[in-house]
Amino acid sequence: MTEMGGATPARRRRQEPLIPDGPVRASADVCQAAGCLSMQSDAVFESLCERVTACGLTDVAVRRVGCLGLCAAGPLVAVPERERLFDHVTAGDDASLDAVVTALSGGEGGRPIASDPFFSHQVKVVLEHCGRIDPERVEDYVAAGGYEALTKVVTTMTPAEVLAEVTHSGLRGRGGAGYPTGLKWTTVAKADSADGKYVVCNGDEGDPGAFMDRSVLESSPQQVLEGMAIAGYAVGASHGYVYVRAEYPLAVKRLTTAIRQAERAGLLGQRVADSSFSFEVQLRIGAGAFVCGEETALIASIEGGRGTPRPRPPYPAASGLWGKPTLINNVETFSSVAAIINRGAAWYQAIGTGRSRGTKVFALAGSVVNTGLIEVPLGLSLREIVFDIGGGLPGGGRFKAVQTGGPSGGCMPEELLDMPVSYESLAEAGSIMGSGGMIVMDQGTCMVDVAKFFMDFCREESCGKCVPCRVGTTQMHGLLDRITRGLASREDLAELEDLAGMVRETSLCGLGQGAPNPVFSTLRYFRDEYLAHIDDRVCPAGVCKIEPAEAVAPVAEASR
């Protein structure tokens, strides 16, 4: 190997945020969540630091923060003191950097946050700290009021009081099924266990188009840990696991940092906040199986086994991780807890509608102007979410449907746009709340093709344990494929509906039971599209490739 000339380039260290010693007049908060990072927002951060130093602005901070929400317009920089947001800021674009520096020094520019409908319709509870703190600095979280709830809980409240508070808040599981959180916590708290209980955080987010948990874990990991610790205190557990999928390396990195920093600060681990309560959190990384988001499969995976679900009961609350009572909640559920403790159950209960209280985070994706992460009070209508917050469809596209609930959810047509979003209304409309993915579709989308896409997903992600899901989803996908190719008959459609009903009723876990949902909901609202493929051999949206007429031949009846 030849000797390299000059000094060997040292590995560059992570540039520290620029924080002045004295009072801060204004700060530039650069989004460092996965979306903006993929557009080199780390370079934006460094360029801004250089520029601010070069301009001699000594009372101005440049910080890294989590997700600022408006992912479609990244890289994003916020100047919270001026309530301004700068979009499409790039390191190579001097004008965009100058605009930020001008605002920092007191000038105008950028888009106003307060009057922007994308922000003004939102209520931030889970996302309270997202985009406001540096996710890799526990000091930032504590300065923003973090760990006050945990300290309050372990020093002034009994576990029963915590359980009552969470129960009264009306919080329901944000992973999708909406099981009352207080009831789940109380069940685990009541379970007898001489040798320990566990708290597990489900961060195995896998629905296509969903990135809520990812953003929360990347933007405010301490908030999740605080919620878990409060849960641990309430149910009597001293060990917790966070299960995050391996496809989220940034979330894994920030969680690892967060756990280390919180332990060092005495906020996790032995004697939390100098009390007698101890709570240790370990990280477990998934290996790419969607089904591991199902709680019993997740438990099997943490235990080191093959990630397959088992029949319930017994529920994890009675017999979970290593046979011990286990509390499993989603990332978002845990993230709501600290705010409920801080501001009280009545405050949380006052937000929302009917039996769906509080706020819900949605990942807006698909054919919508403001792709991004939003948090809204439950009860807001789909129209407000898609058109007011989402800004409608780009390029004058016409709305066709919005898909919620991922592969177990459904597609809602234009007629339902004024429906308030709640667990009950979505279920009634043939979809589910799900974890919070919301995909907007325009007229150029073929609904049969959408159903086929989700069926293909379920077919591939089925663990293979139970027969209806393993073979049923494969056969349904085959039938949908025949329809999209113009090869199907009315009998095939009847067969599809029959099979879908059977798979829903007989599958072992939620993956199989929910897999027929996209088929049912598209048949319910867009049956004419199915019939156009079958009777007229036409794809109304012009998406599907219809096979030439000579390919159409009756299926030869198979015999064994």
Partner 1 sequence: MSVLTLVIEGQDVAGPAGRTILQVARENGVAIPTLCHLEGLSDVGACRLCMVEVEGQRKLLPACVTTIEEGMQVTVNSDRLTAYRRRIVELLFTERNHVCSVCVADRNCELQDLSVEFGVTHFDLPQLHPKATVDATHERFGIDHNRCILCTRCVRVCDEVEGAHTWDVMGRGTEARIITDLGTPWGQSATCTSCGKCVQVCPTGALFEKGRSVGEARRRRPYLPYLVAREGRAR
For the record, the structure tokens of 277 come out as 């309560």
For the record, the structure tokens of 353 come out as 């509608």
- How many residues bind partner 1 (CB under 8 A)? The answer is 35
When the beta carbons of 9 and 311 are compared against partner 1, the nearer one is 311
- In sequence order, what E strands does 436-511 have? 437-442
Give the side-chain half-sphere CA count within 13 A for 543. 18
Comparing C-alpha atoms, which of 145, 165, 295 is closest to residue 223? Answer: 145
When the beta carbons of 311 and 395 are compared against partner 1, the nearer one is 311
Exactly one of 186, 326, 367, 507 binds partner 1 (CB under 8 A); that residue is 507
When the beta carbons of 148 and 481 are compared against partner 1, the nearer one is 481
Strand 280-285 and strand 239-244: the pairing is parallel
Which CA distances in Å does 377 have to 189, 219, 357, 409, 419?
29, 20, 8, 20, 14
| 218 close to 254: Cβ distance less than 8 angstroms | yes
Exactly one of 40, 193, 349, 506 binds partner 1 (CB under 8 A); that residue is 506
* 459 lines the binding site for partner 1 (CB under 8 A): yes
**CB contact set of 84 (below 8 Å; sequence gap of 6+):** 78, 103, 109, 110, 111, 112, 113
CB 468 to partner 1: min, Å: 6
- The secondary structure element, H or E, covering residue 165 is helix 159-169
Exactly one of 462, 484, 521, 522 binds partner 1 (CB under 8 A); that residue is 462
CB 485 to partner 1: min, Å: 14
When the beta carbons of 149 and 466 are compared against partner 1, the nearer one is 466
CB 290 to partner 1: min, Å: 9
When the beta carbons of 290 and 348 are compared against partner 1, the nearer one is 290
Comparing C-alpha atoms, which of 427, 222, 243 is closest to residue 330? Answer: 243
d(CA 257, CA 330): 20
Positions in 290-309 near partner 1 (CB under 8 A): 291, 306
When the beta carbons of 445 and 507 are compared against partner 1, the nearer one is 507
| 89 close to 76: Cβ distance less than 8 angstroms | yes
d(CA 245, CA 239): 20
Burial 491-519 (b: 16+ CB within 10 A, else e): ebbebbbebbeebbeebbbbbbbbbbbbb
x-or-dash string of contact with partner 1, 51-90, rule CB under 8 A: ----------------------------------------
CB 323 to partner 1: min, Å: 14
d(CA 447, CA 17): 48
Exactly one of 311, 396, 542, 548 binds partner 1 (CB under 8 A); that residue is 311
Strand 359-366 and strand 437-442: the pairing is parallel
When the beta carbons of 246 and 350 are compared against partner 1, the nearer one is 246
When the beta carbons of 223 and 308 are compared against partner 1, the nearer one is 308
* Of 82-90, 342-350, 504-512, 529-537: span binding partner 1 (CB under 8 A): 504-512
Distance of CA 421 to the CA centre of its chain: 17
CB 291 to partner 1: min, Å: 8
Beta bridge partners of 111: 85
What does DSSP assign to residue 386?
I
Exactly one of 274, 428, 505, 536 binds partner 1 (CB under 8 A); that residue is 505
First vs last C-alpha separation in the chain? 67
CB 285 to partner 1: min, Å: 18
Exactly one of 88, 310, 398, 490 binds partner 1 (CB under 8 A); that residue is 310
| 405 close to 510: Cβ distance less than 8 angstroms | no
When the beta carbons of 151 and 475 are compared against partner 1, the nearer one is 475
CB 411 to partner 1: min, Å: 24
CB 379 to partner 1: min, Å: 26
* 557 lines the binding site for partner 1 (CB under 8 A): yes
* 508 lines the binding site for partner 1 (CB under 8 A): yes
CB 474 to partner 1: min, Å: 5
CB 513 to partner 1: min, Å: 8
Counted residue by residue, the chain has a size of 560
Sheet holding 372-377, edge to edge: 372-377, 359-366, 437-442, 399-404, 410-413
d(CA 434, CA 408): 8
Exactly one of 225, 461, 488, 526 binds partner 1 (CB under 8 A); that residue is 461
Exactly one of 24, 246, 350, 555 binds partner 1 (CB under 8 A); that residue is 555
Positions in 118-157 near partner 1 (CB under 8 A): none
For the record, the structure tokens of 228 come out as 């878990």
CB 467 to partner 1: min, Å: 5
Whole-angstrom Cα Rg for the chain: 25
* 289 lines the binding site for partner 1 (CB under 8 A): yes
CB 318 to partner 1: min, Å: 12
Exactly one of 93, 418, 460, 528 binds partner 1 (CB under 8 A); that residue is 460
CB 471 to partner 1: min, Å: 4
x-or-dash string of contact with partner 1, 464-503, rule CB under 8 A: xxxxx-xxxxxx--x----------------x--xx--x-
When the beta carbons of 88 and 310 are compared against partner 1, the nearer one is 310
When the beta carbons of 64 and 459 are compared against partner 1, the nearer one is 459
d(CA 140, CA 118): 26
* Of 2-10, 177-185, 215-223, 455-463: span binding partner 1 (CB under 8 A): 455-463
Which CA distances in Å does 135 have to 142, 318, 543?
11, 35, 42
When the beta carbons of 78 and 500 are compared against partner 1, the nearer one is 500
Comparing C-alpha atoms, which of 364, 329, 68, 378 is closest to residue 210? Answer: 364
Q: Which residues bind partner 1 (CB under 8 A)?
A: 289, 291, 306, 310-311, 459-468, 470-475, 478, 495, 498-499, 502, 505-508, 555, 557-560
